[in-house]
């Protein structure tokens, strides 16, 4: 009788009543991380039926869109180490979604090309990712989307020049 015990909480004190992240909320980066976690989780969920992860999906898209791409170009575009790209390419090639074609004029390099199966999966994946974005953006208006893209570009640009 003497203690209402908020929302059915039991006797033992349960630390703080509510965790405040007010300080962290003062930083854009915090909001970006939290939101990106959601995006990544949902995206991987959306790609799972196609047996793709974020990185294999991105790689496939760039290979389809840039026929003849070299592995080192792809690694740079994806911002991952050449060494780590190898296993990704191995996987896509093993599933016969892409081919590694020796380049006659530079026998060190491989030119990457998507197979028909690769292009078909590309189409399906694109569809799945469009659905995913519609879902996570939840009816966000076009203006807001553009504002985000502009802001993200500012951040990205900053890391290049001086």
Phi, psi of 104 (to 5 degrees): -60, -35
Selected from 100, 113, 119, 132, the binder of DNA by CB under 7 A is 100
Contact between 22 and a second copy by CB under 8 A: the answer reads yes
Query: Which C-beta is closer to DNA: that of 50 or that of 80?
Result: 80
Chain CA centroid to CA 122, Å? 15
- For residue 147, the tally of other CB atoms under 10 A from its CB is 12
- Report in angstroms how near the CB of residue 22 gets to DNA at its nearest: 22
Phi, psi of 108 (to 5 degrees): -80, -35
Selected from 52, 74, 88, 89, the binder of a second copy by CB under 8 A is 74
Sole window of 16-24, 69-77, 122-130, 147-155 interacting with DNA (rule: CB under 7 A): 69-77
d(CA 113, CA 149): 29
Contact between 80 and DNA by CB under 7 A: the answer reads yes
């Amino acid at each position: 009788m003497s203690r209402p015990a908020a929302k059915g909480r039991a006797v033992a004190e349960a630390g703080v009543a509510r965790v405040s992240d007010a300080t962290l909320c003062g930083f854009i980066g915090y909001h970006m991380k939290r939101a990106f976690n959601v995006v990544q989780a949902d995206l991987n969920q959306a790609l799972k039926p196609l047996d793709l992860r974020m990185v294999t999906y991105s790689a496939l898209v760039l290979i389809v869109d840039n026929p003849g791409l070299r592995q080192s170009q792809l690694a740079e575009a994806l911002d991952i180490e050449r060494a780590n790209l190898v296993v990704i390419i191995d996987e896509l090639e093993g599933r016969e979604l892409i081919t590694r074609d020796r380049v006659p004029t530079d026998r060190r390099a491989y030119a990457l090309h998507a197979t028909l199966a690769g292009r078909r999966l590309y189409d399906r994946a694109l569809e799945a990712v469009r659905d995913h974005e519609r879902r996570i953006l939840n009816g966000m208006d076009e203006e807001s989307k553009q504002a985000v893209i502009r802001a993200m570009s500012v951040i990205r640009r900053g890391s290049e020049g001086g």
